[in-house]
Structure 1
């Protein structure tokens, strides 16, 4: 083998290693950023301001629907409240109890530490009645608590990310009450919350500098030790040890040559992941990401989702469809009025609900407007259908001239915009991509 061939093989291995392990780094970083330092009762997991202890097995609930004033995440949804908890099952299983939501849509998505959305508790899968679920790690064996259903989790560390439907501000107290009745305990009912060293600071960034590469290896090697890969992938991961990545490599700094190889691979992979390849659906609509129950061996796809859409649900639970141009590829701009018309009998097909949300193209945030309306959908009481049964939505910075159409107006910025069509529990026509999405087109001023 020539030197050139050897270098190419080494770079290919480094790229494969980064694509495989990057989700572990992103999950560790997300855990550090969102796991609470302080319990609801007020106690800090770590009194040191720069400490890395956090509370795990502990739900955190958002209490407000997101609006333009919330700037933490891009393309936020305005339909649900979030509830999330980071779990550590290495000390044993945990009991998750959910209340009767009285028919209200909700979902608790379960993600393993490799970002696979391996399970769901909620309306689509388990119903809306009360339920008890024993979440356990891959090696646990034991007896179930009375009335509990076992859910085997692929990794000891996992993320529960929940969404609860809210029908406007007046509905918030009812949803808060439901959130407060979602409980995590030990199987005997004892307190499950405990301090856990997440090992990272929230502001750490992924990059290709020597220091960042060393840090990447530290984080990934710990994650691989605590969350071993599936048996079918063990041999693949074992090959990464030649690059200093692996459970057995924990605590061993990378030498300069390995740092250089991984730096090149990280730089290449991060550049690739910054260029997402959406799936075109026609009419100017695209599907940014397609997620199933597991990514399997699609490691590049898994890395892209981890980097750009971490926490996204699988398509059977929700689809997020984006339009920032019309059918001819012309960018959407709120200074020109636009319309989106769903013909009679051709509304989105969903088992739960759908909504169309407006965003400013400049900052990817919700658009401040005088009527405080950020989305329209099948739950919007203001919507009015045309005499022929079609639904005509008006998108623009200015309201329609006809006051009778103001209920169908989705305010846009006075500049470039995009919209997200969210489909919760999408029908088969959406899943198999046979649904005909009407294009957004310019309307008369």
Structure 2
């Protein structure tokens, strides 16, 4: 999916709709979903406000339309869980004053207002796909009705978001210097999200050689940028592992399941040591088969759920069958071959207390496991997997739900016996 136009500038304020599901060649997003279609847009509010149009939601279909500021903060989301009201939403620039007002305004006709604290931002729409034959319907019938329109409102005075702004005359072979030079160009029009923190951030940037008024970078004397850069990266990488930043979800030996605290998820406010990334805390070994046991029953979600395997680089694992995830719209079966789900997602009854999911390395999978297996990288390469819940209910976050048990087993183990 490309967001570049013929003049090599970025095509801002317009959606670039993906028309195929993510596979092993997909490199637009790290750790992609394999059961949603993506639509991406770069927001440029330098010339004024922008309006996003959200169509009527199809019954039973989940989608999420999140808005991000320049620094990766998810300042607002609309869609199935938060607000599924169809209509036009105003996106405006409010320096250091992020807001997500989803109450319709009868005076201006907008269904809500999203205030970005930075001039530049992004949208990453995700639409649930029921099965492979559903893709064409979404592409032709749903995606075209998500639109962006620029308004003729007062300009912010910021330069337009172009490839030249982001690339020209920046250090190409020095990552720390490149980052600081780029930040110098955009900092004055893209302040910290928290107004109360703006002065402290400006002082810190000035110490680092960035002047928010001159939009240029001057490296402080006697500063080793490479050393400072590595120190900062090491500090940030340790933050997600701090138990104080995690919400326990339950223990299923030998794994303790947890997620980032809601207060630190998506919108980081003044926590600059938090960054939008996934952290894997469980080590999985090469050339080993693992069995994932969902003994807590079907995950109770208002949207959908999936278990997806990734290679060590965060992208999907190449395999002959293009098989990347399992979930409520896949081929999961009970040991006797009965489908766990029928139709689209959570439309089937019954308990799921004895079904198993399994990941396999570079081996042939037995016929009885074909519906419940996921391939991991060949040749014993590093891998990870992520369990996602879209629209989780309280049972998945209050310790009530029994999270899956993951154990190492022999390749193609015997099917479990109902207990």
Distance in 2 separating the partners of 1:267 and 1:175: 44
Alignment of 1:28-107 (within 5 A): 36-38=3-5, 44-46=6-8, 53-71=9-27, 73-103=29-59, 104-107=61-64
Alignment of 1:249-398 (within 5 A): 249-251=214-216, 253-257=218-222, 260=223, 263-274=226-237, 277-278=240-241, 282=251, 283-284=254-255, 291-292=264-265, 294-301=267-274, 304-305=275-276, 309=277, 325=283, 331-333=284-286, 335-343=287-295, 346-361=297-312, 363-380=313-330, 382-386=331-335, 389-390=352-353, 391-397=355-361, 398=363
Cα 1:214–1:367 shift into 2, 3 Å? closer
Distance in 2 separating the partners of 1:215 and 1:407: 48
Matched position secondary structure for 1:134: strand
1:438 aligned partner: 404
Distance in 1 separating the partners of 2:47 and 2:272: 29
Distance in 2 separating the partners of 1:225 and 1:244: 14
Higher helix content, 1 or 2: 1
- Over aligned residue pairs, what C-alpha RMSD do you find? 3.5
Cα 1:429–1:196 shift into 2, 3 Å? same
Residue 173 of structure 1 deviates from its aligned partner by 1.0
Residue 112 of structure 1 pairs with residue 66 of structure 2: no
Cα 1:116–1:383 shift into 2, 3 Å? same
Distance in 2 separating the partners of 1:435 and 1:205: 50
Matched position secondary structure for 1:248: coil
Residues 67 and 123 in structure 2, CA contact (< 8 A), matched pair in contact too = yes
Residues 55 and 195 in structure 1, CA contact (< 8 A), matched pair in contact too = no
Cα 1:144–1:219 shift into 2, 3 Å? farther
Residues 321 and 421 in structure 1, CA contact (< 8 A), matched pair in contact too = no
TM-score w.r.t. the length of structure 1 is 0.71
Residues 210 and 216 in structure 2, CA contact (< 8 A), matched pair in contact too = no
Matched position secondary structure for 1:173: helix
2:340 aligned partner: none
Cα 1:225–1:364 shift into 2, 3 Å? closer
Q: Show CA shifts across 1:388-411 (max 9, x none).
A: 74221132244654x444322223
Residues 97 and 182 in structure 1, CA contact (< 8 A), matched pair in contact too = yes
2:373 aligned partner: 409
Residue 377 of structure 1 deviates from its aligned partner by 0.4
Alignment of 1:215-230 (within 5 A): 215-229=178-192, 230=194
Distance in 2 separating the partners of 1:275 and 1:206: 28
Distance in 2 separating the partners of 1:216 and 1:395: 39
Number of corresponding residues: 365
Residue 124 of structure 1 pairs with residue 81 of structure 2: yes
Matched position secondary structure for 1:300: coil
Residue 169 of structure 1 pairs with residue 154 of structure 2: no
Cα 1:396–1:234 shift into 2, 3 Å? closer
* Contiguous gaps of at least 5 residues in structure 1: 1-33, 39-43, 47-52, 310-319, 326-330
* Contiguous gaps of at least 5 residues in structure 2: 98-104, 154-158, 337-350, 414-419
Matched position secondary structure for 2:403: coil
